[in-house]
Amino acid sequence: MSTISTSSLGPANAPDENSAPDPLAAADELGRRLGSPRTEPAADPQLEALALAVSANLPVLLWGEPGIGKSAGLRQLATGLGVPLETVIASVHEPSDFAGLPIIGDDPAATGVPMAPPDWAVRLAASGRGIVFFDELSSAPPAVQAALLRVVLERRVGSLALPEPVRVVAAANPPSSAADGWHLSPPLANRFVHLRWTHDPRTVARGMAGTWPAVPVPVVDPARVSSAVARARGTISGFLTARPGLAHHLPGDAESRGLAWPSPRTWEMALRLLAVGYATNAGQKAVAAALVGAVGDGAGLELLNYLENLDLPDPDRVLADPAAFALPARGDRQLAFLTAVVSAVQSDLTRRRWEAGWTVLAKAVEAGVPDVAARAAADLAALRDTDWPVPTGIDAFLDLLQLSGALPGGS
């Protein structure tokens, strides 16, 4: 039997110098070049609204037809934030993939049965930050949607708590165009900021030329935080005082219940969105889209109209020089402004700012509207340090405060 020397074959798997080049190498290089487009700053309210909601750490749900760039926009946002992105196709998972799989230990009676989380949740927890993207949410059956409730609201997957810097984003196709589509359950829908995702043909055309709009990341200005929180509290509180019927309204039809609608939970989301908007340079259209996405079209449009005509003064500037401002003429603006002033005092409580707050409230009495300032006066009185003397501006409210118990008699 003849033998062949292995040395004559050369190194194992060595390419033949005369062999043809890899037929896929050039094609892969071409694909890489097509997949590396430039970005440029551009006004895109839907991208800004997405970035605003993610910055506010609120769960976001992108509604749009298949293939219009929902996933691509999210990948770009994750790159801009410098965080990992974990994509989970909700429609192909079982409820246990989100609730966790039971793992029996040595002594279940003593230690219980922990619920093991899936690998994507473990990676995000190890990273400490990131975005989890639940795609095709409207194609997930009701049992899976129910299991996702705790993930979206509490950021818990099985026995694992996701870190606070982990953001939650989902995408859904309208039931008419989703594969085996379902309406979202009202409890799950009410936990999201709903954004309509559309495509601009001009943006697509420019993207095919190699340039897509960059996702603007809103940056909160620390110097504006106190004022932003106070203004947002005054605005939302004043609006709901004027329109109490919008505090909670569950739509009557299944399709509308699966979208955005007003509830105490979504008004709290609107409060956070508005505060982040005030504290950043977010565009008005982006803030408007996010607010409507939180509380729904009807309540949202009323809120936007209210905001357009509100124009509250900066409460921190007013507290710095309370004698130099004029009380707004309209009753709804007065209430919103006085609520904002009390919130600003609470956020940075000092005797000087507390006393300045009473100077502001006294102007409501001078203007002949003490009833508008009554609730703000009770809240401001509750902030008093027992060592602080009662200022003169409180005199007009003494009877009211004593009756309410906010101020002891004889103080």
Q: What is the structure's pLDDT at 403?
A: 52
Mean pLDDT value across the chain: 84
Per the DSSP assignment, residues forming a β-bridge with 85 are 131
Q: Which of 195, 265, 221 is nearest to 50 (CA)?
A: 195
By three-state DSSP, how is residue 388 classified? coil
User: Is the model more confident about 317 or about 373?
Assistant: 317
Minimum mean pLDDT range among 18-22, 179-183, 243-247, 407-411: 407-411
Give the pLDDT of residue 361. 86
Six token digits for residue 17: 């110098």
CB 87: neighbour CB atoms within 10 A?
A: 15
Radius of gyration of the chain (CA): 28
| Buried/exposed 5-42: b ≥16 CB within 10 Å, e otherwise | eeeeeeeeeeeeeeeeeeeeeeeeeeeeeeeeeeeeee
Residue 162 or 331, more confident = 162
HSE, side-chain direction, 13 A CA sphere, residue 256: 11
Pairing assessment for the beta strands 156-157 and 160-161 based on DSSP bridges: antiparallel
- Work out the pLDDT band at 37, boundaries 50, 70, 90: confident
pLDDT beyond 90 at 267: yes
Mean pLDDT check: name the lowest of 154-168, 220-234, 395-409: 395-409
Q: Domain limits of the chain?
A: 60-103+112-191, 222-404
At 236, is the secondary structure helix, strand, or coil? helix
pLDDT at 178: 54
* Residue bearing the bigger pLDDT, 180 or 136: 136
pLDDT of 177: 60
Question: How many angstroms separate the first and last alpha carbons of the chain?
Answer: 115
pLDDT at residue 159 above 50?
A: yes
Q: Please compute the mean of the pLDDT values over residues 358-375 and round it to a whole number.
A: 80
Options 3.40.50.720, 3.10.290.10, 3.10.129.10, 3.40.50.300; CATH of 60-103+112-191: 3.40.50.300
Lowest mean pLDDT among 195-204, 304-313, 339-348, 391-400: 391-400
Most confident by average pLDDT, 97-111, 151-165, 283-297: 283-297
- 3-state SS of 270-300? HHHHHHHHHHCCCCHHHHHHHHHHHHCHHHH
CA–CA separation, 364 vs 380, rounded Å? 14
CA distance 327 to 338: 9
Res. 5 pLDDT band, cuts 50 70 90: very low
Classify burial at 96, counting beta carbons within 10 Å of its beta carbon; exposed 0-12, middle 13-18, buried 19 or more: middle
48-61 confidence digits (pLDDT tens): 999 999 999 999 99
Per-residue model confidence (pLDDT) at position 4:
46
> What mean pLDDT is predicted for residues 259-284?
94
Does position 410 have pLDDT exceeding 70, yes or no? no
